[in-house]
Amino acid sequence: MTPARHLRLAVAVLVAAALLLSATVPAARAQEETKHEEFSYIPSDEHGPEHGGHVKKEWAACGTGRMESPIDLSHERVSLARSLGYLSHSYRPAEASIVRFEGDAGSLVINGTAYHLKQLHWHSPAEHTVDGRRYDMELHLVHESAENKAAVIAILYEVGRHDDAFLHHLEPFIRRIAGVRDREERVGVVDPRRARGRASVYYRYMGSLTTPPCTEGVISTIVKRVRTPYPCTSWSFSGKPCTT
């Protein structure tokens, strides 16, 4: 696991349907089931970013992988691909709880393959950087195909002065579980369509899961437009007290 993984996981909201049992562990399930006490984002910790690839043999890719995420999105290295078009998705409302989701929350189509939405989670501060700049928060929508391949859509957030309906809906539930591990909180029906709107400009590369087991071959898509929610809404997800 590279030093770039030295990021604090704020809180997770897992979205979606029960996964079919299979002989292999799906990428989305692998990320969901990694226990927080098994790895750390603190560099000096024996389970920290620099040693993640040695904690478990199943996590070897965290130290030796060649398609690791996150990365710095440098405009000097970006190639424009107009053929990609809009992100094609068919999300729908589904019953949810923090940290678990029930129900069919819809899917995303990439290159003709359907990737079903399995979970959402936040990182604060953001994992990806843009030209070296790190934003306040990053939302990951984790999808999985019938072949257990993963696709992640990332949305960046910066504290601002705009209302974000999706975050606003989850804010009271996040506040109740802030700082508490493995506590489940039912949130009723959550509509993932409110998490992201029409996205015509985005970055895409082949990467990996950003937490152990760091599974590679993940289609990583980062929406270019940065959301700017109110400070108190953002701080709820990062565990910071609201002082405004």
Among candidate residues 154, 182, 37, 25, the one with its CA nearest the CA of residue 97? 182
Tell me, yes or no, whether 15 lies in a domain.
yes
Model confidence at 43, in pLDDT bands (50, 70, 90)? low
Name which residue leads in pLDDT, 63 or 13: 63
Cα–Cα distance measured from residue 182 to residue 22, given in angstroms and rounded to the nearest whole number: 25
Tell me, yes or no, whether 218 lies in a domain.
yes
pLDDT at position 206 is 93
Neighbours of 233 (CB within 10 A): 22
The CATH number assigned to the domain holding 35 equals 3.10.200.10
Quick check: 20 pLDDT over 50?
Answer: no
* Phi-psi category of residue 11: left, alpha or beta, with phi > 0 → left and psi -120 to 50 → alpha: beta
Quick check: 108 pLDDT over 70?
Answer: yes
Could you identify the residue written with the tokens 């910066």?
158
Model confidence at 219, in pLDDT bands (50, 70, 90)? very high
Tell me, yes or no, whether 64 lies in a domain.
yes
Give the total number of structural domains in the chain: 1
Tell me, yes or no, whether 244 lies in a domain.
no
pTM of the predicted protein model: 0.75
Please give the span between the terminal C-alpha atoms of the chain, in angstroms, as a whole number.
Answer: 37
Residues 6+ away with beta carbon under 8 Å from 186: 96, 97, 98
- Domain with 190 in it: 3-238
Q: Return the SS3 of 109.
A: strand
Model confidence at 131, in pLDDT bands (50, 70, 90)? very high
Query: How do 216-229 and 202-208 pair as beta strands?
Result: antiparallel
Tell me, yes or no, whether 243 lies in a domain.
no
State the average pLDDT for the chain: 72
Name which residue leads in pLDDT, 77 or 180: 77
pLDDT at position 226 is 92
Name which residue leads in pLDDT, 202 or 17: 202
pLDDT at position 17 is 26
Model confidence at 106, in pLDDT bands (50, 70, 90)? confident
